Amino acid sequence: MRAVIVAMAAALGFVAVVVSALPTAVAQEQAQVSLRTLHVQGNVHLIAGAGVNVVVQVGPFGPVVVDPGPARMGKQVLAAIRTLSPRPVRYVINTHLHDDHTGANDIVAAAGSPVGQGRGSTVIGAGLQATRAEIIANEQVLQRMGNPPAPSKPAAVVLWPTTTYSNPSKEFFTNGEGLQMVHQPSAHTDGDSLVFFRRSDVIAAGDVYSTVSYPRIDLAAGGSINGVLEGLNRLLALAISGEKTEGGTMIVPGHGRISDEADLVEYRDMVTIIRDRVQDLIEKKRTLEQVKAARPTMDFDGQYGNAPGWTSDQFIEAVYRGLAGSR
């Protein structure tokens, strides 16, 4: 799988997007980053290099953008979307609330136009203007962006979802295929959506899945280790591998490389093993410090333990607090 992706990257080359006339600090940061666009499968493309994976479905209806990325990358992401399609952006979808995924909502939604309303969802008046794309997410995303617990401040109104859903899933049809948003409660956060492009056979997994770190569990935003595991198992239930277990459904994690079902099985097994080890130590009445000292992640730290901002100890602590119910 890795070889395939590298070959694809080489074949497609790099799309360097240069943004000028920005304030100096921002311009310097942006000038150093070049984004890559990769064709994932079917109608679905990946814009990589923005700090998160930006997934874009293209077609005659206009682009659908899942997680447009952080605010500082908005203009570059939009320029990269333009290399895939000149049409107005139709929908922006958020897998969850974090600002590295939603910060560019405003910039990308402003490049769009809305498409009717309804479809059994709630449309919020604020921020919905005639020339903007809808921003769609689970209702918990709006709750937490608009009304976060102190001392956090609400996100800017222009970043909020304009359409939310509260059912277990939301489905609609765009660019010739069915699109399913599946709510995964209490996983990375309590408002996670897995976004399944059914005909292209691609799933944008958000931060329930990462190939470059242990799963990040945001306890304060309602996340939990068991919810993450349910999410990984849900992804496995949706995914179907191709011949000889290679290929088939492609899964795009929030961070890291495009995966197939075999990659996901390996990751799910790793998370299950660590969860079981920590659970076992909790049953033996070990304290958090004793659990950390027992190094329940040791054999996986080489691969997953070096992520910026999410160390092995932070992961163990989140697993422990979730399982011990002591947060």
Total Cβ atoms within 10 A of residue 245: 11
Nearest distance from residue 253's CB to Zn ion, in Å? 11
Q: What are phi and psi of 122, to 5 degrees?
A: -95, 125
Task: Tell me which residues in 225-254 interact with Zn ion (CB under 5 A).
Answer: none
Nearest distance from residue 98's CB to Zn ion, in Å? 4
Rg for the chain, CA atoms, rounded: 20
Nearest distance from residue 221's CB to Zn ion, in Å? 9
Nearest distance from residue 26's CB to Zn ion, in Å? 22
Q: Which is nearer to Zn ion, 207 or 260 (CB)?
A: 207
Element (H, E) at 84: helix 74-84
Q: Which is nearer to Zn ion, 201 or 207 (CB)?
A: 207
Q: Quote the Cα angle for 226-300-274, to 5°.
A: 25
Nearest distance from residue 293's CB to Zn ion, in Å? 28
The yes or no reply on residue 255 touching Zn ion (CB under 5 A) is no
The yes or no reply on residue 144 touching Zn ion (CB under 5 A) is no
The yes or no reply on residue 207 touching Zn ion (CB under 5 A) is yes
Q: What are phi and psi of 42, to 5 degrees?
A: 60, -130
Nearest distance from residue 160's CB to Zn ion, in Å? 17
Site mask, Zn ion, residues 49-88, x = CB under 5 A? ----------------------------------------
Contact 14, 36 (CB under 8 A): yes
Number of residues that bind Zn ion (CB under 5 A): 2
Contact 200, 45 (CB under 8 A): no
Q: Which is nearer to Zn ion, 98 or 144 (CB)?
A: 98
Q: Which of 249, 267, 251, 262 is nearest to 212 (CA)?
A: 267
Strands (E), the chain: 36-41, 44-48, 54-57, 64-66, 91-93, 122-123, 134-138, 163-165, 169-174, 177-184, 192-197, 202-210, 250-255, 306-307, 310-311
Task: Tell me which residues in 81-120 interact with Zn ion (CB under 5 A).
Answer: 98
Q: Which is nearer to Zn ion, 137 or 281 (CB)?
A: 137
Q: Which is nearer to Zn ion, 67 or 177 (CB)?
A: 67
Nearest distance from residue 100's CB to Zn ion, in Å? 7
Q: Which is nearer to Zn ion, 134 or 207 (CB)?
A: 207
- Contact residues toward Zn ion (CB under 5 A) are 98, 207
